[in-house]
Amino acid sequence: MSTVEKEKMVVVVTGAAGKTGGLVAKKLAERSQFTPRAVVRSEQSKGKVTALGVKPEDVFFVDVAAGKSGDYAKAFEGADALVIATSGVPQIVYLSLIKVFWAKLTGQQGVRPEFTWKQGQMPEQVDWLGQKAQVDAAKAAGIKRVVVVGSMGGTQPENFLNTLGNGNILKWKRRAEQYLIESGVPYTIIHPGGLLDEEGGQRQLKVDVDDKMLQRKVRSIPRGDVAELCVQCLNLPEAENRAFDVIALQKEESEGPTNDWKALIDSLAGANCDYNIERQV
């Protein structure tokens, strides 16, 4: 390995075969200062991340829902940073759509489709125990920064996302974030608004804390912007040991795309998400 390669920041991305994690891995692979590693579940997922530019020898297999901290040892060895983009994924109960269609025909309000989770992949297993194992492994490996892609809504126990399949996904995510903060590993926790499958770099980003921006009519953000923010925070001292929410402003209120990432974090004026609100134990 050359001196140049040794100076590169080695960044592990878990959930790298997912939409947001894949964008993070792709952005890292495109930049000469990083060496990305990917943690995925299957051989099929390996093909997805190698197509994004991750070298085949830098792809590792761990089942995030069942994996223990020791299962990550090989992937995390010698790494500088970790981006956690793993998350439980709800599945729609298709028969429930009949009730939704009927409600629309008859003018009923508030009828929503039902959701479930794959067996063994409930939020408690993926978003709490799975993330806890990653934090333990990162600490054991001496990783210097953990960036987490979370979600807005953690201060609201009644949030719709918690009702999906009775999974309480935001509660389990919040518990894992608390665990990371208390672990002593330097962290950046990013809570995006509703994720859009759109190109990033088109609109101005706005940050705040404690779900204040959920009061806005529009509080979404392209996945590309979330991925770029993850990458930028890896080398941003101002983002160390910070937890915050982020959305993209609408074009009519935007002053142009965000490109000063330090200024974005500085706009928080020192504010951090307060985990004493709806603390999970």
Amino acid at 228: E
Q: Which helix (H) or strand (E) holds 228?
A: helix 223-233
Asked whether the CA dihedral 145, 159, 223, 74 is positive or negative, the reply is: positive
Q: How many CA atoms lie within 13 A of 39 on its CB side?
A: 27
* Catalytic residue flag (residue 69): no
In the chain, what is the greatest distance between 2 CA atoms, to the nearest angstrom? 69
Q: 167-189 as b/e, with b when 16 or more CB fall inside 10 Å? A: bbbbbbbbbbbbebbeeebbbbb
pLDDT tens column, 226-262: 999 999 999 999 999 999 999 999 988 888 999 999 9
Band of residue 2 on the pLDDT scale cut at 50, 70, 90: very low
pTM for the predicted model, two decimal places: 0.93
Structure confidence at residue 67 (pLDDT): 86
pLDDT computed for residue 3 by the predictor: 41
Please report, as a single letter, which amino acid is at residue 86.
T
pLDDT digits (tens, 9 = 90+) for 103-154: 888 988 888 888 899 888 999 999 999 999 999 999 999 999 999 999 999 9
**Cα–Cα distance between 138 and 142 in angstroms, integer?**
6
CATH number at 3-90+120-266: 3.40.50.720
Residue 1 has pLDDT above 50, yes or no: no
92 vs 232, which has greater pLDDT? 232
The one catalytic residue in 151, 183, 220, 254 is: 151
